[in-house]
Amino acid sequence: MQLFQSTIIKNYLPSSPILNSTVTYTMKNIKIIVRNMNVQICYKCIQDHAKCTENILPLETVIEHSKTSPIFENLNQSVSDLQSDITNMRTAREDNFAKLADQCKSAVNNIREFRNELNHHLDAVEKGLITKLQEAENKCSQHVKEVIKSLNEVESDISNFGNILQGIKQHASELQVYLATREIEKQVSDKENRLTSLMENTPFYDITVSMDIDTQV
C-alpha cells in the first residue's frame, strides 16, 4: 500500500534536482516540505539543505484539511463545471444535428409547395395565352373568310357573265347581242369596281399570328 501511494505521489511531484526520480519514496519518508519551493524532502535528504530549514514545514501541517481546502473545492468545482459544459455543448450539438434534418425536410416541403404554386400559375398563364391565341386566330380567320367570300361572289358573277356572252353569241341576233352587251358591260363594270374597292380596302397580304415570349420576366 505504501509503495502504491508513493508511486502516485511521485507522479505528481515536480521535477527538481533535489529529488532523484529513480528513488522510490514511501509515505513514512516524506515528512517535510519546503514552503517557498513547494518541494517535498525526506529526512535523509534534509541534511543537504540545512540553509532551507527556516522555510521548512512538516508535511502534516501542509496537507492538513486538504480535502476541505478551497483549492481542492475549487478544483473539484472546475472539473464539475467542465463536465457540465461538455454535456451542455454535446446536447446543443445533438439538438442542432436533429434540427438540421428537420430544417432540410421543411425546405424540401417548401420547394414542393412552391413548385405546385408555380405549376398552377403556369397552367393559368398557358390557358390565358392559348385563349388569346385562339381569339386572334378566329379574328384573322374570319377576316380571310370574308375576303374569300367576296371574291367567290365576284367570281361567280363574272363566270355567269361569261356563260351569258357565250350563249347570246351562239343564239341571239345582232340586235340582241348589241343590247345585251351594253347591259352586261354595265354589270361587269360594277363588279370590277367592287373588286377594285375590295382590293383597296382589304389588305391582300398574308396575315400571320405570332407570339413572343419574354424570358426576362
Lowest mean pLDDT among 8-17, 183-192, 206-215: 8-17
Cβ neighbors of 115 (< 8 A, separation 6 or more) are none
Burial level of 132, CB count in 10 A (0-12/13-18/19+)?
A: exposed
With 0.75 as the threshold, say if the pTM is over it. Answer: no
Q: In the predicted model, what is the mean pLDDT of residues 69-89?
A: 92
What is d(CA 19, CA 207) in angstroms, rounded to the nearest whole number? 111
Domain ranges of the chain: 2-64, 101-201
Q: For 142-194, how does the pLDDT look when each residue is reduced to its tens digit (9 = 90+)?
A: 888 888 888 888 888 888 878 888 888 788 788 877 887 888 888 888 888 88
Whether the predicted pLDDT of 11 surpasses 70: no
